[in-house]
A and B are shown apart, each in its own frame.
Chain A
């Protein structure tokens, strides 16, 4: 941990310790100037999070495949060829110099997916074209009669029901007993019997092969990000991620439609399952954040957007368990950076919750009225985002410049603002993206 007396520290002290560790990361910078640039960039984040006026508004767009396309590569290149990924990252970051690196972790390893026969998503060469990004296969991966299994023992449910559906190569896991069987001598040998079966042995071999491929990806990813940090002084955007309990269920388990129907047909089960997922969602982020020593937790949220449920359902169904996750992360000194995809105009009063300590998280928005967001949410937490993907793809540099200028005048004059995009950018007109960054540097320094 960061200090010997970690358990005795307040959440404010933990936050300070984590931010210090991030700002003073043991990176071998190529020069003192680059080290200073890194320290200064993290300081922009620290000031904006704490609702202070930073030296300049931090420029933190969400980046998907745009750096690849900008450099002449495809999604297939990103997911299969780490040299090309590295070349794209070098070119993109050198040319645009944002204040957070593109999300390398979103450049998923196709080879790992191939070995495991991953079914939850399609990716270039597997269901979508080479120039596309990976995309989710909307299905009820968790059946509607399996809530009790999930609620009673999430790990067992994941291992023996959900994971074998998620990966073709892991189907034999269904035949294994739960690890909780292992508690006394007579139960031990029966637990291991299935490991003698050929399909289970093949599965274990594939898991080891996937492990090798994942290690290759991790090493490439660390080298690529390490180079950007050491040569350009740009910090990683986030060191961990997690999800809102409702989205865990709705995004990739019950599916959007399945969960919406469950709300009417089995509301108590939905609530109980979400409550069960809260500690898992906190632990998920905490373990990564402790390893990466970056306190920012990326949390994309989806199924609570305007139109996806009533205000009443948001207050009683979506928010309570999500808030519990946010509070749990903040308690550990972490900084949730939520990306509220879609419109969040109807939710602003709820998320400006006074029980969440002020100046401890970031709300990034998409299609939301930013003046209202500033007034309501910005009074308690840093906000940002909103520059539309359509403007950056099909607009003109002058329009982008005017949009950013107006946005910053509306939201950033007293600090607490991150200039970002309202979408994870797979595509953009480079001239428009340059105008976005230039406007951020010009007007963002004049606040």
Chain B
């Protein structure tokens, strides 16, 4: 039945996916099997997104279904050991910019891929990011922005992480509609991604999980 669940998620049949989850849990299925079935589905959707067969609505709908399934599965997972994480990502939309859609999709996809995501929200002050990096020792920092004012804020954030001596062993990626190689070089980031799948691939490469 877990194969059925994978198919329902891939086909974005929300009600079916939730009902199958209920049935699996009622039948005493290992919750980690359910999580694995969902992860497999999300990987298929991610691949479809990467090759232009699925789009942002499909990613968001799949994330929504995943959230519904997670809410059902979570109480059954409590007694189990936490799954091993690929790494930790501190994520935010930079200071001066309050656009959150792209950042949220990246966060959701990173979480599904197995990263521990610390989301600092939008308009994240430079000092807030630095403080969180100092405290959480993430593997990756992801800075998002949609406006041209974000370029300066990205640069300032990277510079502050550098100045605090926290960049060693840490990779910083940037993303958002106007971001390209010029912006990456300007901001002094280690990499940039055009979309959420690209961001996940980049983060995986950096932590050796690709």
Q: Which residues of A contact B (CB under 8 A)?
A: 122, 127-129, 131-133, 135-138, 256-257, 260-261, 263-265, 307-310, 313, 341-342, 367, 388-391, 393-395, 423, 425-428
Contacts and interface: CB of A to CB of B under 8 A. Distances in A.
Contact of A390 (B98, B101, B180): B180
B151 A393 contact: yes
Contact of A426 (B64, B98, B149): B149
Given A426-B148, A427-B151, 18 more contacts: A122-B98, A127-B98, A129-B96, A131-B96, A135-B98, A135-B99, A135-B147, A138-B100, A260-B61, A261-B60, A264-B14, A264-B61, A307-B195, A308-B57, A309-B56, A342-B177, A394-B186, A428-B148
Interface in B154-169: none
Interface residues of B, number: 32
A423 B60 contact: no
A390 B56 CA distance: 24
B182 interface: yes
A394 B182 contact: yes
B101 A426 contact: no
A390 B55 contact: no
B121 interface: no
19 contacts: A128-B96, A131-B96, A132-B96, A132-B147, A257-B60, A261-B57, A261-B64, A264-B61, A307-B55, A308-B56, A308-B57, A310-B54, A310-B55, A313-B57, A388-B178, A391-B182, A394-B182, A425-B148, A427-B152
B155 to A, nearest CB: 10
A137 B93 CA distance: 13
Nearest to A258: B60
B123 interface: yes
A46 to B, nearest CB: 32
A263 B57 contact: yes
B182 A395 contact: yes
Contacts of B99: 135, 138
Contacts of A367: 177
Contacts of A132: 96-97, 147, 149
Nearest to B98: A135
B183 interface: yes
Contacts of B195: 307
In order of increasing CB-CB distance, the 3 nearest A-B pairs are: A260-B57, A427-B148, A394-B186
Contacts of A390: 148, 151, 178-180, 182-183, 186
A260 B101 CA distance: 12
A128 B94 CA distance: 12
Contact of A309 (B57, B96, B152, B186): B57
Contacts of A342: 177
Contact of B147 (A257, A313, A426, A428): A426
Which of A132, A313, A428 has the most C-beta atoms of chain B within 10 angstroms of its own C-beta?
Answer: A132
B178 A133 contact: no
Contacts of A138: 98-101
Contacts of B97: 132, 135
A132 B148 CA distance: 10
A389 B146 CA distance: 11
A313 B58 CA distance: 12
Nearest to A262: B57
A312 B185 CA distance: 37
A394 B55 contact: no
Nearest to B123: A128
B10 interface: no
Given A256-B101, A423-B148, A261 B61 contact: yes
A389 B55 contact: no
Interface in B87-108: 95-101, 104
Contacts of A389: 148, 178
B41 interface: no
Contact of B14 (A128, A263, A265, A341): A265
A427 B149 contact: yes
A342 B183 CA distance: 16
Nearest to A310: B55
A344 to B, nearest CB: 13
A328 to B, nearest CB: 27
B56 to A, nearest CB: 5
Interface in B37-73: 54-57, 60-61, 64
B180 A133 contact: no
A389 B95 CA distance: 19
B124 interface: no
Contacts of B96: 128-129, 131-132
Which of B100, B123, B147, B148 has the most C-beta atoms of chain A within 10 angstroms of its own C-beta?
Answer: B148
A388 B179 CA distance: 10
Contacts of B5: none
Given A135-B97, A138-B100, A390-B183, A260 B60 contact: yes
Contacts of B151: 390, 393-394, 427
B147 A133 contact: yes
A257 B98 contact: no
